[in-house]
Structure 1
Amino acid sequence: MASTATKQHYDVVIVGGAVNGSATAYFLANNPDFTGSVLVIERDWTYAQSATALSSSSIRVQFSNPINIQISRFGAQFIRDFGQLMEVGGDTPDLNFKENGYLFLADQKGFDVLKRLHQTQLDNGADVTLMDTEALVRRFPWVNPDSLAGGTYGEKDEGWFDNYGIMNGFRKKARSLGVEYIENEVVEVLRKGDLVTGVTLANGERISCDYIVNTAGTRGPTVARMAGLQIPVEPRRRSLFVFACHTPLEGVVPLTIDPTGVFFRPEGHLYLGGTYPKVDPEVAFDDFDVLHDEFEEEVWPILAERVPAFEAIKVVNSWAGHYDFCVLDHNAIVGPHNEVRNFLFCNGFSGHGLQQAPAIGRGLSELITYGQYRSLDLSALSYERVIENRPFLEDSVI
């Protein structure tokens, strides 16, 4: 049932209350230099179909762009400190961070790319080890090295964690700091010239504001269009499969990515896996059908070839989630529209939203409070690159 706001005006209205919306709300409310009011509007408090809830919930520093590396390095430390930072009433949430790293496997062509990226990663403080096949098999003996030339492994700041936990931690802490949350849906963005002035909700309620932050996930383009704006973002389906293995792998098992794009990681005593689909069309908001043939035809054959123990596996669970996919360059669009300066984008994460939420939320709060970035300069992710059709390319996309 829709809930109503307690006031008619807020300094900041955040549309979408999952991890990025709640991270932005937290960083605003936690900043003593910000003295305004914040309203978070979320259409579904179950968050059941949010990208946050349906994510594989992992973080990595193995990117090609320095800013993405820095975003994740901050995120990993934030995840480690999360319990202390999000403490409310003596409750310190534990995200159960499994810092097992990412293992990128590569054929000769891909290994040349990994070597190039490795230097960029080292230059930006990432702890990543470059391995030839001999070193690879010595460290991860369950890998079949056929067709491989080597790989890279993240020694630190990479792994997986509790996706619901990080969202709920941000949300609970933000509310304890005075942020107001309502369960409702924005149906209209009010605009006067080059300023947005407020929103209309599904129950007819009108709320005025000084800033709008669009953290609506796959519905982000819809919210933008309400303000007469456009972003190159669309929903793309990703199917995930949980499987049991007759012979569990021994030793440390990272999130492992085959050169084909097939990946897996431990999930308790089970394993979670999937792939970057070869056919990847836009899907409807409500299309969460799992592509079971994808596992049989694309995922399992590669798993069985790369990890001999995976010849005997059984799928025990599966689900599909959506990427808010940036078709320009697979990177997020963050910050103000070039003309409508009080409409802030936080869209198009293309599968990286959960891991990037701490740094992005902090950055947006700085823009609102100070008019500029003070920590990490996120201007490379700005909307201006969309206008100029200037992709911010990332070589390491999963």
Structure 2
Amino acid sequence: MVRIPTQSLLVGVVQSGKGRHGGRGLEACPGGGVVWLEAIGYHGDGVWGRGLPVPVSGPRVGLPCLADMIRAGRLCRGLGLLRPHPLPDPAGGSAPPSRRLRTGHPQRRDLFSDLEKEIVKFQKKLKESLPGSDWDPVGTTKGLPPERADVVIVGGGVMGWSVAYWLKALEPHRDALRVVVIEKDPTYSQASTVLSVGGIRQQFSLPENIQMSLYSAFFLRTINEHLGVVNEPPIDIQFNPSGYLFLASEDGAAVLEENVHIQRAEGAKVSLLSPAQLKKKYPWINTDGVAVASYGLENEGWFDPWSLLNAFRRKAMSMGVFQCFGEVMSFTISSREIMEPEGELTYSRINYVRVQMPNSLEYQLVECSLVVNAAGAWSQKLAEMASVGIGPPDTQEGIKLPVEPRKRYVFVWHCPDGPGLDCPMLVDTTGAYFRREGVGGNYLGSLSPAEEEEPDIQDLEVDHDFFQEKIWPYLAHRVPVFESLKVKSAWAGYYDYNTFDQNAVLGLHPLVENMVFITGFSGHGLQQSPAAGRAMAELILEGKFKTINMEKFSFNRFVSGEQVLERNIV
């Protein structure tokens, strides 16, 4: 028997057959069976019904199955067993905020409607007074998100769109879920995805990272079977299968060899090369200081990041996902205190997401069942809006999401006599890396700075001295012809850097019951996005990971202090 509390479709985590939601009962029936709807709410708007049995499938262990909850609510509506029931106003009134201030409704009556009309008139006069100018005044923005959604994904990078696609691909029946993706940068000019160098490799030290990249490589090989859209051109991500080449010194040789054994055990095809074998295969490499090298024989190389992002986005939208360009400014949250063995803890739940439209006074309150934090480098800021990490520092409520933006440079240079078509993505013993870019003697690469030399993150300006003083000497030592290279351009982007252990954060927050994380990949997120997105969709829809077990990457490791370290961070 499952009792579903009012005001919620997606309820709290089930532990040992019991759930927590407002202190009321959520009882799980092992093996599935019938949910007896003693009271059910739909998206928190107060509708509820009684005495309706709804079949469900499987035990409720971990995250309850969102699809079952939604199906139950819609079935109640369809049978006319629901009646409206007003909810307490989070702001203290008699109705939810979105009922009092509906910015997306054509009959809106709020503080700003008259002001906006006057602003539009004034802007029109300004525009007319500047004939021939390409200046555009700030205006209202169309494309408000819907007032209700089952899942709100915050972050329209490759992770966010991967989750959106997999939710629709795995939903129990067509249109079972209403999914919204919110992205604050309509131009994607600062998006980590499109500023990536686009590498994919299986040469990691953690089995889970290797498995994710192997799955993603399979997905990319068959991408048109997954992301192809009828009557649209086939997808070409411009994959270049030139492999990764890792070099290790005497100090790092044992670790590299151990990593290769782990990679092979997981099914990756990686070869070990002695300095003599390395020189024979790549005559242009100076092998001084190299004790051993590892080379990925298949499923490694690089591809165009924008093509993958756009393919996920195009497919997800064709399946009914709503895209919204706007910025999440705050959440409306309900909370309660529960006495646990370790003391009193505050459990929270997000009821509404406030989305501010770009260059506009308009905003929308989106009522939702679940929020996916796919905000990348800015995911800690988003988590803090949901009260994550704002408690006393020595308590569970004070544990922050340890993900912060780290600025990384990418430099492009020209060297007509440089390595040819056989040039892999080479990762030097120093950490400097480069790869070929096309066939015209162009290359790109970089180096992650030391911890004490991390650049300022306030902007994406490039420090060209960093290349001259740090990177170029390493490149010229390893590839002597790079002595005569000429830098052509450069850009900077952000890593969503996990300061705790440089690995992904996947899954529920222990106290904010309906926020899940998919962030903190620390530079290897793009290549793992197909696998990570599927894992999150499985967790949301089925209550558990199925394809690859990602439990190791949960938020709970920050509570226990147990690191999950990845040794191959580039």
Q: Normalising TM by the smaller chain, what interval?
A: over 0.9
Cα gap change, 1:383 to 1:236, in 2 (>3 Å): same
Output the CA distance in 1 between the equivalents of 2:250 and 2:378: 40
Cα gap change, 1:280 to 1:25, in 2 (>3 Å): farther
Cα gap change, 1:345 to 1:195, in 2 (>3 Å): same
Counterpart in the other structure of 1:397: 569
1:348-371 deviation digits (Å, cap 9, x = unpaired): 111111111111100111111111
Output the CA distance in 2 between the equivalents of 1:280 and 1:208: 43
Counterpart in the other structure of 1:362: 534
Aligned residues: 397
8 Å contact kept, 2:523–2:569: no
Q: 1:75 aligns with which of 216, 230, 239?
A: 216
Counterpart in the other structure of 1:267: 437
Output the CA distance in 2 between the equivalents of 1:64 and 1:372: 24
Structure 1 residue 313 corresponds to structure 2 residue 485: yes
Q: 2:381 aligns with which of 207, 218, 222?
A: 222
Output the CA distance in 1 between the equivalents of 2:353 and 2:232: 36
Structure 1 residue 7 displacement after superposition:
2.7
Output the CA distance in 1 between the equivalents of 2:364 and 2:247: 53
Q: TM-score, normalization: structure 1?
A: 0.97
Counterpart in the other structure of 1:191: 333
| Aligned CA-pair RMSD | 1.3
The amino acid that maps onto 2:351 is T
Secondary structure at the aligned position of 1:223 is classed as helix
8 Å contact kept, 1:246–1:312: no
8 Å contact kept, 2:182–2:326: yes
8 Å contact kept, 1:101–1:254: yes
1:9-57 deviation digits (Å, cap 9, x = unpaired): 1110000111000000000111242621100111112111010011111
Output the CA distance in 2 between the equivalents of 1:240 and 1:337: 34
Secondary structure at the aligned position of 1:205 is classed as strand
Structure 1 residue 341 corresponds to structure 2 residue 495: no
Output the CA distance in 1 between the equivalents of 2:453 and 2:369: 38
The amino acid that maps onto 2:565 is L
8 Å contact kept, 1:234–1:282: no
Structure 1 residue 332 corresponds to structure 2 residue 491: no
The amino acid that maps onto 2:385 is M
8 Å contact kept, 1:3–1:184: no
Counterpart in the other structure of 1:375: 547
Counterpart in the other structure of 2:454: 281
For structure 1, list consecutive stretches of 5 or more residues without a partner in the other structure: none
8 Å contact kept, 2:145–2:364: no
Q: 2:412 aligns with which of 207, 223, 242?
A: 242
Q: 1:204 aligns with which of 354, 359, 363?
A: 363
Q: 2:226 aligns with which of 85, 88, 103?
A: 85
Q: 1:121 aligns with which of 255, 260, 263?
A: 263
> Which range moves more in the overlay, 336-345 or 259-268?
336-345
Output the CA distance in 2 between the equivalents of 1:341 and 1:8: 21
Secondary structure at the aligned position of 1:142 is classed as coil
Output the CA distance in 1 between the equivalents of 2:551 and 2:530: 16
Higher relative contact order (CA 8 A, sep 6+): 1
1:90-129 deviation digits (Å, cap 9, x = unpaired): 3211001111111001111111111111110110001000
1:281-301 deviation digits (Å, cap 9, x = unpaired): 3743x4101111111011111
8 Å contact kept, 1:86–1:92: no
Output the CA distance in 2 between the equivalents of 1:6 and 1:333: 27
Output the CA distance in 2 between the equivalents of 1:8 and 1:92: 34
Structure 1 residue 65 corresponds to structure 2 residue 206: yes
Counterpart in the other structure of 1:153: 295
Output the CA distance in 2 between the equivalents of 1:176 and 1:262: 41
8 Å contact kept, 2:145–2:323: no
Secondary structure at the aligned position of 1:310 is classed as helix
8 Å contact kept, 1:80–1:97: no
> Which range moves more in the overlay, 184-193 or 272-281?
272-281
The amino acid that maps onto 2:535 is G
Structure 1 residue 392 displacement after superposition:
0.6
> Which range moves more in the overlay, 110-119 or 170-179?
110-119
8 Å contact kept, 1:13–1:41: yes
Output the CA distance in 2 between the equivalents of 1:255 and 1:134: 19
Counterpart in the other structure of 1:295: 467
Output the CA distance in 2 between the equivalents of 1:5 and 1:250: 50
Output the CA distance in 1 between the equivalents of 2:490 and 2:207: 34
Output the CA distance in 1 between the equivalents of 2:272 and 2:333: 52
Output the CA distance in 1 between the equivalents of 2:264 and 2:233: 37
Cα gap change, 1:371 to 1:283, in 2 (>3 Å): farther
Output the CA distance in 1 between the equivalents of 2:326 and 2:351: 18
Secondary structure at the aligned position of 1:109 is classed as coil
Cα gap change, 1:231 to 1:182, in 2 (>3 Å): same
Structure 1 residue 251 displacement after superposition:
4.6
Structure 1 residue 341 displacement after superposition:
2.6
Q: TM-score, normalization: structure 2?
A: 0.68
Counterpart in the other structure of 2:338: none
8 Å contact kept, 1:37–1:179: yes
The amino acid that maps onto 2:445 is G
Structure 1 vs Structure 2: percent identity of aligned residues?
Answer: 40
Structure 1 residue 271 displacement after superposition:
0.4
> Which range moves more in the overlay, 5-14 or 137-146?
5-14
The amino acid that maps onto 1:12 is V
Output the CA distance in 2 between the equivalents of 1:62 and 1:77: 16
For structure 2, list consecutive stretches of 5 or more residues without a partner in the other structure: 1-139, 336-347, 357-361, 389-399
